[in-house]
Structure 1
Amino acid sequence: MLFSLGQVVVARNCLNYAQQHGVNLTELVERHASGDDGDLCKADQALNDLAIQSEGRVFSSYTINAVSFYVITEWDRSYTTVMLAEDY
């Protein structure tokens, strides 16, 4: 793990979708914490690298079955939110 996640919370809509479609949200959070930004462009990946070094907000995006999931760790590392892109 490259940075602290704080408390991990999952948006209700995201949790419902994941349960109905067999999406492993723990795996997404683990990828996020290891520095795997998912589907981000190079510029956004570079911003994440900087955020990890300077305590900024870390954002990852993963597409599974044409549905986008976001994992966002706040700048102060107090919490990490997992949500569907449509809930952002």
Structure 2
Amino acid sequence: MSKRLFELGQIVATPGALELLERHSKTPIEFLQKHVCGDFGNLCRDDLDANNEAIWNGERILSSYKISETDRLWVITEADRSSTCCLLPEEY
């Protein structure tokens, strides 16, 4: 695992995210590890740049991971680093 770039705070997940991961035999930890080490998944260049700035500016950090052809998982760390949530995009 690479170096952690920021704190995750309390880790939570929505029922929808947990069901999606279970359906695809995945666990939240693999995506949390990617997220905290700067592998933000499938984001456009502007969102990647915003995340890299957010690490140092104390803003919200968003990752988006493709789980299947139709399913995505989002991982969002709040600006104050008090919590990180795994959720589906439609649950935002």
Shorter-chain TM band: over 0.9
Structure 2 stretches lacking a partner, 5+ long: none
Under a length normalisation based on structure 2, what TM-score does the superposition of the two structures give? 0.91
The secondary structure found in structure 2 opposite 1:15 is helix
Structure 2 residue aligned with 1:45: 48
1:19 to 19, 22, 25: 22
Greater per-residue strand proportion? 1
For the pair 1:78 / 2:82, whether they are aligned, the reply is: yes
| Whole-angstrom distance in 1 between the partners of 2:60 and 2:66 | 20
1:35 aligned partner: 38
Moved over 3 A (4+): none
The whole-number CA distance in structure 2 between the counterparts of 1:83 and 1:25 is: 10
1:76 partner letter: D
Is the counterpart of residue 54 in structure 1 residue 60 in structure 2? Answer: no
Query: Per-residue displacement from partner, 1:7-45 (whole Å, max 9, x unpaired)?
Result: 000101111221222122110010000001100011100
The structural deviation recorded for 1:87 is 1.5
CA drift at 1:86: 2.2
Aligned residues: 88
Q: Amino acid of the residue matched to residue 37 of structure 1?
A: F
**Overall identity of the aligned pairs, in %:** 40
